């Protein structure tokens, strides 16, 4: 187990130090807690001074009942646990995509399609040729225009297991190369080297002609675009804590709004795509289209289930307690002359770290903050007059 300490030195600089590697017999929470206690004792450190803790997302580390986080909190309630927000967002997307069978099945088929089409150079070359032929045809009919940088050749991208932003790229590439990929699969189903390859290719080609598969592809593109934008923002080195919390809350609101108002826009996207690629669409006006009508109702259900899963996972990972703590800390940001300073949030922060402030000290803090704010306002007036005086001198 690697042990890293993050602390503030005597001049206010934030220091992060790797302090050692500890051998552990197993990775259960009690063994890890015992190892940390022994390490602290050996280095004259005390658990009572800890004000924060952070680990990966494994249950033995962050479990609410018996995780290492909870065992330390039981000993020191001020050792608040904060998990990396960018990593948490990855866990949110992973959980959403694996807990709902239809979405999980979609990603399984997506991986199989990418693997079988990209299994050989011959198949990749066939994709390029069919893509080229498709572009030529669309240019001749005036569907697309030519120009520098337009109509670039592309290939299917394999998704990574740890970075779910790569899944967005994979789906987008498949949607762009839909016709060439389907034609290659159909060709493989007829001319494959063995029966197994032909059977897999036929199954994948039939799946690409399925309305539900197309619908989930577009639904996940829209949701992954939202989470990917947030993921990129969370990974910025100069990201402000307060802004991070606001971005997460905005994301929750945006997803909820998509659930309430996104159906019509999503169906327009799917309808246009199906019409362009000759895929059967549900028709609610035709009473004989019972199967397709059922698909439409199921698709409407998909958007509610998937978005609800995503919201629930976000609420579970990004808790109000963590958001409140970070928002309170953010008000102490010294940038822009403490522009984010907030008296009530500073007081709330002191209440959260109750071991560091007695009842008497909290009362004193209120008086000191009122005095500080009063002095700040006086200084603003003073500096304002000073600036006007300096400007007048320059003009003279």
Q: What is the domain partition of the chain in residue ranges?
A: 2-81, 88-320, 331-395
DSSP string, 150-199: -S------PPPSS-THHHHHHHHHHHHTHHHHHHHHHHHHHH-SSHHHHH
Q: What is the pLDDT of residues 40-93, one digit of tens each?
A: 999 899 999 898 888 877 778 877 788 899 999 999 998 998 888 888 888 788
Quick one: which of 247, 327, 253 has its CA closest to 86?
247
- Closest to 34 in 3D by CA, of 50, 49, 47: 47
Give Cβ neighbours of residue 213 (< 8 Å, ≥ 6 apart).
Answer: 106, 109, 207
Looking at residue 34, what is its pLDDT?
92
Global pTM reads 0.72
DSSP state of 287: T
Residue-wise over 11-32: b if at least 16 C-beta within 10 A, else e?
eeeeeeeeeeeeeeeeeebeeb
Write the burial class of residue 125 (CB in 10 Å: 0-12 exposed, 13-18 middle, 19+ buried).
exposed
Residue 236: predicted pLDDT = 80
- The sign one gets for the Cα dihedral 311, 314, 320, 325 is negative
Q: How far apart are CA 245 and CA 251, in angstroms?
A: 10
Nearest CA to 280 among 270, 166, 113? 270
User: What's the pLDDT at 260?
Assistant: 86
pLDDT below 50 — which residues of the chain? 149, 151-153, 284, 287-288, 381-396
Using a 10 angstrom Cβ sphere, with 0-12 exposed, 13-18 middle and 19 or more buried, the burial of residue 327 is: buried
User: What is the rounded distance in angstroms from the CA atom of residue 60 to the CA atom of residue 79?
Assistant: 17
Q: Are the C-beta atoms of 217 and 249 separated by less than 8 Å?
A: no
Give the per-residue pLDDT at 207: 92
Q: Which H/E stretch holds residue 3?
A: strand 2-8
Give me 208's structure tokens. 């690409």
């Amino acid at each position: 187990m690697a042990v890293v300490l993050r602390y503030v030195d005597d001049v206010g600089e934030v220091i992060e130090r790797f302090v050692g590697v500890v051998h552990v017999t197993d990775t259960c929470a009690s063994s890890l807690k015992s190892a940390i206690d022994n390490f602290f004792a050996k280095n004259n450190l005390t658990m009572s001074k800890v004000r924060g803790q952070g680990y990966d997302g494994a249950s033995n580390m962050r479990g609410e009942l018996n995780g290492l986080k909870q065992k330390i909190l039981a000993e020191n309630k001020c050792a608040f646990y904060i998990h990396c927000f960018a990593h948490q967002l990855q866990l949110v997307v992973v959980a959403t995509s694996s807990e709902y069978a239809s979405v999980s099945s979609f990603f399984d088929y997506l991986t199989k399609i990418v693997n079988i089409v990209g299994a050989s150079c011959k198949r990749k070359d066939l994709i390029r040729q069919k893509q080229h032929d498709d572009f030529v045809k669309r240019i001749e009919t005036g569907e697309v225009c030519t120009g520098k940088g337009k109509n670039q050749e592309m290939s299917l991208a394999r998704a990574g297991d740890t970075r779910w932003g790569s899944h967005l790229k994979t789906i987008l590439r498949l949607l762009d190369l839909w016709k060439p990929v389907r034609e290659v699969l159909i060709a493989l189903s007829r001319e494959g080297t063995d029966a197994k390859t032909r059977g897999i290719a036929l199954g994948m080609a039939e799946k690409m002609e399925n309305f539900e598969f197309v619908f989930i592809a577009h639904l996940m593109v829209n949701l992954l675009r939202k989470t990917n934008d947030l993921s990129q923002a969370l990974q910025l080195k100069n990201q402000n804590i307060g802004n991070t919390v606001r971005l997460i809350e905005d994301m929750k609101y945006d997803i909820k709004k998509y659930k309430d108002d996104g159906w019509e826009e999503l169906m327009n996207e799917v309808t246009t795509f199906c019409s362009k690629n000759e895929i059967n669409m549900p028709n609610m006006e035709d009473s004989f289209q019972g199967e397709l009508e059922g698909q439409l109702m199921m698709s409407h259900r998909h958007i509610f289930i998937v978005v609800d899963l995503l919201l629930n996972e976000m609420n579970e990972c990004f808790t109000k307690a963590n958001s409140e703590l970070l928002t309170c800390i953010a008000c102490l940001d010294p940038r822009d002359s403490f522009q984010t300073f907030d008296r009530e949030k500073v007081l709330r922060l002191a209440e959260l770290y109750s071991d560091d402030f007695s009842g008497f000290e909290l009362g004193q803090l209120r008086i000191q903050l009122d005095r500080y704010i009063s002095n700040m306002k006086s200084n603003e007036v003073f500096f304002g007059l000073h600036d006007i005086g300096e400007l007048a001198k320059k003009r003279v």
